[in-house]
Amino acid sequence: EAQLLESGGGLVQPGGSLRLSCRASGVSVSRSYINWVRQSRGKGPEWVSVIQRSGRTFYADSVNGRFTVSRDESQDTVYLQMNSLRVEDTAIYYCATASNGVADAFDVWGLGTVVTVSS
């Protein structure tokens, strides 16, 4: 059974940095599209980034240039490096993927990790 587990969230001041991790089991990050999706309190989900099977990466405009997604295939882990954090980046961050290895929908989600940006 495919599972994802996020970690690395916490409290950080505006302008600070944080690195989130998404550890995969039952699915290989090198053969999957691993997405990051965030959700602010009381709001709908917002797609943030994806790292494709090829290694290509894409970002939402709101984080482009500040966030970087990468992976360590030996650890089956995907990372989201978040720099120049803003108050509006405060959210639960989920990683999500399709267990069939295609990019049509997310049937596997982690439990999320909470990021709070505040002074």
Partner 1 sequence: DIVLTQSPLSLAVTPGEPASISCKSSQSLLHRNGYNYLAWYLQKPGQSPQLLIYLGSDRASGAPGRFSGSGSATDFTLKISRVEAEDAGIYFCMHALQTPYTFGQGTKLEIK
Residues near partner 1 (CB under 8 A): 35, 44-47, 50, 58, 60-61, 94, 96, 103-107, 109-112
Q: Which token pair is 48?
A: 């943030």
* Residue 54: CB minimum distance to partner 1, A: 14
8-state DSSP, 63: T
Give SS3 for 79: strand
* Residue 88: CB minimum distance to partner 1, A: 16
Helices vs strands, H then E, count in the chain: 0, 11
Nearer to partner 1, 13 or 64 (CB): 64
* Residue 27: CB minimum distance to partner 1, A: 14
What is d(CA 27, CA 106) in angstroms, rounded to the nearest whole number? 13
Nearer to partner 1, 16 or 53 (CB): 53
HEC sequence for 32-46: CCEEEEEECCCCCEE
Nearer to partner 1, 15 or 107 (CB): 107
